Amino acid sequence: MLRAHHCVGGVVLTASHNPGGPEGDFGIKYNIGSGGPAPDAVTEDIYRRTQEITEYRIDDGISFDLTQIGEHKFNNGQFTVSVVDSVNTHLELLKTLFDFAKIRSYIASSSLQITADAMSGVMGVTAKRVFCQELGVSEDNLIRCTPLEDFGGSHPDPNLVYAKQLVDEMKRGVYDFGVAFDGDGDRNMILGKHGFFVSPSDSLAVIAANSQAIPYFVQNKLCGVGRSLPTSGAVDKVCEALGLAMYETPTGWKYFGSLMESGRIGLCGEESFGTGSAHIREKDGIWAALAWLSILAYRGASVESVLTSHWAQYGRHYYCRYDYEGVTTEQGAAVMAKVRNFGFDRSFPRLSA
């Protein structure tokens, strides 16, 4: 939205997986005009300025209908609020990145059965527009696509634990392709038939290896790929084989944004189920789903066969992520202190090459 409307920046109220708000599912982020998260220099400057605030004022006289698209002016036109259709703006951008007609034709001709779980988050509205109206998927196939303030009492994190409803549905063998989105729709989990799980790290590697299947990368040749430090080295092997630059960054999408701004990468991902490209300088769940559907249409193959053939060519990477929730700052600091002070026993047996 920031790029489409030529904004210098914007405050994002988001159902983030980073703990925030009374129930831990609400966050506030600031994104810069390029569309990506604010870099360290900006956030540090914002923090410095907050320490200089002596007062703030609230105008209780501003009220308008958020359902009415258009401009709402206040204080004799000195203050304007513009209400826009963000779903339509996003959809129009996606149509320039993917061949919707080709994907729709493949779904119809192959009788590909698709389901999506929006986990009662905002992506449910976009999922209906993209999958149902644009790609011909029955709305009956969609799960939890009505946004709810409390996410239906569940935690909107697209993983094997919290997206159990989708996992169980996929295990039935009715659907060939399944995707879950988190509360604000920027992260995703891809599943194949019978619940075949695609790890976020493998998903990034497969998209990089099959970039020729995605019109956006045909028009904008993929120059490099970025991954966070905890993300597996699966994409490293792809970059090495294809002669692509590969960048490892600290955790945080803002580091990818800097690489995108400098033209060094066009694709990036994290092990926390985030995948995206330079089209918005952010992770984008529906983009990842369309990238996978483009690959399936291009190769005429299933999710499982695409991944198993990928492993046969590039090797398979194993790793494990553990999530510890509700950890206090003091507990986290204690863990990090122990890690820093940990002494490695050189006599510990090592695995041979």
Positions annotated as catalytic residues are 16
Q: Which residues make Cβ contacts (< 8 Å) with residue 272, sequence separation at least 6?
A: 17, 187, 200, 228, 230, 251, 321
Cβ proximity of 269 and 235 under 8 Å: yes
Continuous H helices in the chain: 40-50, 86-97, 100-110, 123-127, 164-171, 200-209, 215-219, 234-242, 253-261, 285-299, 303-314, 329-340
Beta strands at 114-117 and 142-143: parallel, antiparallel or unpaired? parallel
Helix axes 303-314 and 234-242, enclosed angle (nearest 10): 70
CA distance 294 to 277: 15
Q: Where do we find the tokens 């703030």?
A: 56
* Cα–Cα dist 25/19, whole Å: 6
Residues 18 and 24: their CA atoms lie apart, in Å, by 7
Please say whether the beta carbons of 29 and 39 come within 8 A: no
DSSP string covering 192-212 = EGGGEEE-HHHHHHHHHHTGG
Angle subtended at Cα 100 by Cα 94 and Cα 105, rounded to the nearest 5 degrees: 165
H or E element: which one contains 10? strand 9-14
DSSP codes of every residue in 146-166:
S--TTGGGS----STTTTHHH
Residue 173 and residue 110: Cα distance in Å, rounded? 16
Following CA atoms 331, 337, 338, 341 in sequence, which dihedral angle do they give, to the nearest 10 degrees?
Answer: 180
